[in-house]
Chain A
């Protein structure tokens, strides 16, 4: 079945880096736009970044622009989020999601927790 599995979360100090991965299976990965979405503790969902099916375009929320980089390896069916210069306010559960059709996020992964703390 269609499945997304995130990994790479953990505890990291402010200013450090972390890379998240999202392994996709059950669908033709290189034909879909992919997103990262996060949810900070006690807060709502926040869209983070999007990457085109072939990696030709990528866009970011203002809150992460210049610090985060979304990428993908279609040969490995894997989506990535490189997070640099992490801040306490980046603490959140990070979800990857497939854009099944315009603005339709389906499915979502189970999420991976990133905690930025000294």
Chain B
């Protein structure tokens, strides 16, 4: 069974930089998995941040960036702000009829 792994939680200081990762329980994440990233705030619809590994969605500030780091997809937030405190999810394309979300990372800014 495919499991997409994310750090359960992360903490960053205001103005700091944090990198969240998205891996596979077996194998490496590459651009072939078209990783995308979403910010989920309670009571709101998920917000798209990054798609196709490193393309920012419309309106997303450039302090959010995506990449492949080693064998994982990564979301980097540079100059973290208080309203970046949220849950972040990645999702991988596992084939024509399958997508798998990671378990999500709860980001705290303090």
Q: Interface majority SS on A: helix, strand, loop or mixed?
A: strand
Cβ–Cβ < 8 Å partners of A102 in chain B: 34, 52, 93
Task: Looking at the assembled complex, report how far the CB atom of B48 sits from the nearest CB atom of chain A, in whole angstroms.
Answer: 4
- B91: contacting residue among A47, A59, A111, CB under 8 A: A47
Pairwise interchain contact A106-B99, C-beta atoms closer than 8 A: no
- Contact-residue size bin, chain A (C-beta under 8 Å from the other chain): 20 to 34
Say whether A15 faces chain B, with CB atoms less than 8 Å apart: no
Cβ–Cβ < 8 Å partners of B69 in chain A: none
- A103: contacting residue among B40, B87, B89, B99, CB under 8 A: B99
Pairwise interchain contact A47-B93, C-beta atoms closer than 8 A: no
Pairwise interchain contact B48-A35, C-beta atoms closer than 8 A: no
Pairwise interchain contact A44-B89, C-beta atoms closer than 8 A: yes
- 20 of the cross-chain contacts (CB-CB < 8 Å) are A35-B99, A37-B46, A37-B101, A44-B87, A45-B38, A47-B91, A47-B101, A57-B96, A95-B45, A100-B51, A102-B52, A103-B52, A104-B52, A104-B57, A105-B36, A105-B38, A105-B46, A106-B51, A107-B48, A108-B45
